[in-house]
Amino acid sequence: MLRQFCECYFDLSGLILCPVLGSIILLFIPNSRIRLIRFIGLCVSLLTFLYSLVLWIQFDSSTAEFQFVGTIRWLPYENINLYMGLDGISLFFVVLTTFLIPICILVGWSSIESYGKEYVIVFLIREFLMIAVFCMPDLLLFYVFFESVLIPMFITIGVWGSRRRKIRAAHQFFPYTSPGSVPMPPAIPSIFSQTGTTDLQILSTTEFSERRQISPWIAPPAPSPVKVPMVPVHIWLPEAHVEAPTAGSVILAGIPLKSGTYGFSRFSIPMFPEATLCLTPFIYTLSVIAILYTPPTTLRQIDLKKIIAYSSVAHTNSVTIGMFSPNIQGIGGSILLMLSHGLVPPAPSPCVGVPYDRHKTRLAKYYGGSVSTMPNPPTISFSFTLANMSLPGTSSFIGEFLILVGAFQINSLVATLAALGMILGAAYSLWLYNRVVFGNVKPNFLHKFSDLNGREVMIFLPFIVGVARMGVHPKVFLDRMHTPVGNLVQHGRFHR
C-alpha cells in the first residue's frame, strides 16, 4: 500500500522543485523577519530530506535501471531531452545532499549576522543544483548543473567567509575549478555527432573505437581531478575550507568533492572502458602520491580547518583507487567511502566552528587542554577522529577495507601503499587530537568558554547516528548499490 501511494504521488520533479519553491517563498518575506526566514528555510530543507527518504523506501534495489524517470522535451532534437532518473548509485548522493542542507542552515542560525535571508536562499538553490547533478543521466545536463554548483559556493566564500582573505580564496576557488571543464564543451558536440544523443543509457551501450576513446574519456571527467581533488590541483581546497563559513565547509566537504569521483563512475568508466584501463596506472600514481603526501603535510598545519581539508585529500584519493579497480569490491567500496566521506569530514567543521564563534580563532595552540574547560566538543570530536582513522564499527572502515581488497586484486603495490596511508592517517589523527584537546590549559583564553547549547547538540547528533549506522550495519547501503555496481563491472565492458 505504501509503495503504491509513493508511486502515485512522489517523483523526482517534486524533489527538485521543493528547494526552488522554498527560495521563491523567501523572496517575499521582509529581511527584518529573519527568524521566520530561517524557520521556513529549515522546514523546506527538512521536507526535502523526508521526500528523499520516501524515494529511498520506494526504490527497487533488484534492478540496475534508472527509476522515477521523467522526460521533458526542451530542445528541438529527438534525443536531447530533460531526462531525470535515479539508480542505486545516485540515490545515495541525493539523500546525502538533502541530509546536509538542514544541518548547514542550523550551523549558520546565529553565526550569520549579515544577509541572513540571502544565506538561506543560497543554500536552498545549492541544494536544487546538487540534486539535479545526481538526477540527470545526460551528459549535457550533467555538465550544466555540474558547473552551476560553483556559483553558490563562490558566493558563500566571498560573502560569508570568516576572514579578510575570503575574497582571495573565492577568486582562487573559481579559477581552479572552472578551467578544468574547458574540454567538455567541444567534446559534447563531438560525442553527439557520433551517436546522435547525450543520453547516458544510450551512450553506455555505444561502441567507441579505441582511437576515439582517449579524448572523450579525458573531456567529461576533466574537472573531476580538480573536484576530487588530486595532486597537484588540490591547492584550492585548503584555502577554500579555511575562508568559508562553517556551513560552507560542511557542504564543501560533504558534496562537491563527491561530484568529481561521481563523474568518473557515471561517464568515463561505463562509456570508455578501454581508455579507462589504459589510464588507470596514471590515476593510481596520482592517488598514491596524494595519500602519502597529505599526512606529513597535515602535521605541519596550525589552522584547525586546514587540518580537516588536508585530511580530506587522502580519503578522496583512496576513493579514486577503488573506483579504478575493475571489480565489485573496489567500486562498491569507493562508493561506500564516498558516502562516509560525506559525514566524517563535514562533522569536525562544526567542532571547529563552535569554539571559533566564541573566540574568533582556529589556531590549534590556543585550544590545548580544552577538555578540562569544554568537555563536550572534544568528546564529540573524538568519535569523528576514530571514524577518520577508519576504526572498525565506524562508517569509513568497510569502504576502506573493500577498496584495499579490490585494489590488491589488480595491483598489490598500490594496495600496500594505500594501506600505509591509512596507518599514517591514524597516526596523525591521534597526534593532532592530543595536541588540540590535551596539554597545558590556556586559562587566559578559555576561562569564559560556554559549552554546547541545544541547537549545537542537534547539529552533531545526525552525524554521530549516521557514522554509527553505516559502520555497524552497512548491508543496507551495499544492497542498494550492488546491482548497478555489478552491472557496471560485469556488463559495462570492463573485460572486453
**Do 244 and 301 have their domain in common?**
no
What's the confidence (pLDDT) of residue 211?
54
**Do 360 and 239 have their domain in common?**
no
Taking all residues of the chain, what is their mean pLDDT, rounded to a whole number? 79
SS3 string, the chain, reads CHHHHHHHHCCHHHHHHHHHHHHHHHHCCCCCCHHHHHHHHHHHHHHHHHHHHHHHHHCCCCCCCCEEEEEEECCCCCCCEEEEEECCCHHHHHHHHHHHHHHHHHHCCCCCCCCHHHHHHHHHHHHHHHHHHHHCCEHHHHHHHHHHCHHHHHHHHHHHCCCCCHHHHHHHHHHHHCHHHCCHHHHHHHHHHHHCCCEHHHHCCCCCCHHHHHHHHHCCCCCHHHHCCCCCCCCHHHHHHHHCCHHHHHHHHHCHHHHHHHHHHHHHHHHCHHHHHHHHHHHHHHHHHHHHHHHHHHHCCCEHHHHHHHHHHHHHHHHHHHHCCCCHHHHHHHHHHHHHHCCCCCCHHHHHHHHHHHHCCCEHHHHCCHHHCCCHHHHHHHHHHHHHCCCCCCHHHHHHHHHHHHHHHHCHHHHHHHHHHHHHHHHHHHHHHHHHHCCCCCHHHHCCCCCCCHHHHHHHHHHHHHHHHHHHCCHHHHHHHHHHHHHHHHCCCCCC
Q: Which of 236, 260, 284 lies at the terminal end of a domain, its last residue?
A: 260
- Report if residue 487 sits inside a domain: yes
- Residue 119 has phi, psi (to 5 degrees) of -60, -50
Burial of 473 (0-12, 13-18, 19+ CB in 10 A): exposed
Q: Which of 231, 260, 289 lies at the terminal end of a domain, its last residue?
A: 260
Does pLDDT of 32 surpass 50? yes
pLDDT digits (tens, 9 = 90+) for 79-114: 566 778 888 888 889 999 999 999 989 888 877 778
What's the confidence (pLDDT) of residue 49?
94
Does pLDDT of 270 surpass 70? yes
At 10, the pLDDT band (50, 70, 90 cuts) reads: low
**Do 142 and 276 have their domain in common?**
no
**Do 319 and 202 have their domain in common?**
no
Distance CA 278, CA 282 (A): 8
pLDDT digits (tens, 9 = 90+) for 360-401: 777 777 777 777 777 777 788 888 888 888 888 888 888 889
- Report if residue 226 sits inside a domain: yes
- Report if residue 3 sits inside a domain: no
Distance CA 220, CA 140 (A): 10
Cell 580547518, located at residue: 305
**Do 300 and 239 have their domain in common?**
no
**Do 205 and 279 have their domain in common?**
no
- Report if residue 4 sits inside a domain: no
68: region left, alpha or beta (phi > 0 left; psi from -120 to 50 alpha): left
Q: Supply 196's cell numbers.
A: 546522435
**Do 205 and 247 have their domain in common?**
yes
Burial of 56 (0-12, 13-18, 19+ CB in 10 A): middle
Does pLDDT of 476 surpass 80? yes
**Do 23 and 138 have their domain in common?**
yes
**Do 349 and 393 have their domain in common?**
yes
**Do 368 and 410 have their domain in common?**
yes
What's the confidence (pLDDT) of residue 44?
94
- Report if residue 2 sits inside a domain: no
**Do 133 and 277 have their domain in common?**
no
- Report if residue 100 sits inside a domain: yes
- Report if residue 265 sits inside a domain: no
> Would you say 354 and 375 are in contact if contact means Cβ atoms under 8 Å apart?
no
Q: Which of 225, 260, 295 lies at the terminal end of a domain, its last residue?
A: 260
What average pLDDT score do residues 267-271 get? 77
Residue type (1 letter), 230: M
What's the confidence (pLDDT) of residue 423?
85
Domain count, the chain: 2
Domain assignment of residue 118, given as a range = 9-260
Does pLDDT of 276 surpass 80? no
Go through 4-28 and write b for each residue having 16 or more CB atoms within 10 A of its CB, e for each that does not.
eebeeebbbeebbebbeebbeebee
Question: For the whole prediction, is pTM greater than 0.85?
Answer: yes
What's the confidence (pLDDT) of residue 368?
72
Query: ∠ CA 289-290-294 to the nearest 5 degrees?
Result: 120
Lowest model confidence (mean pLDDT) among 36-45, 121-130, 222-231, 366-375: 222-231
Distance CA 205, CA 496 (A): 13
What average pLDDT score do residues 171-185 get? 66
Distance CA 161, CA 155 (A): 9
- Report if residue 369 sits inside a domain: yes
- Residue 300 has phi, psi (to 5 degrees) of -85, -10
Residue type (1 letter), 310: Y
**Do 483 and 343 have their domain in common?**
yes
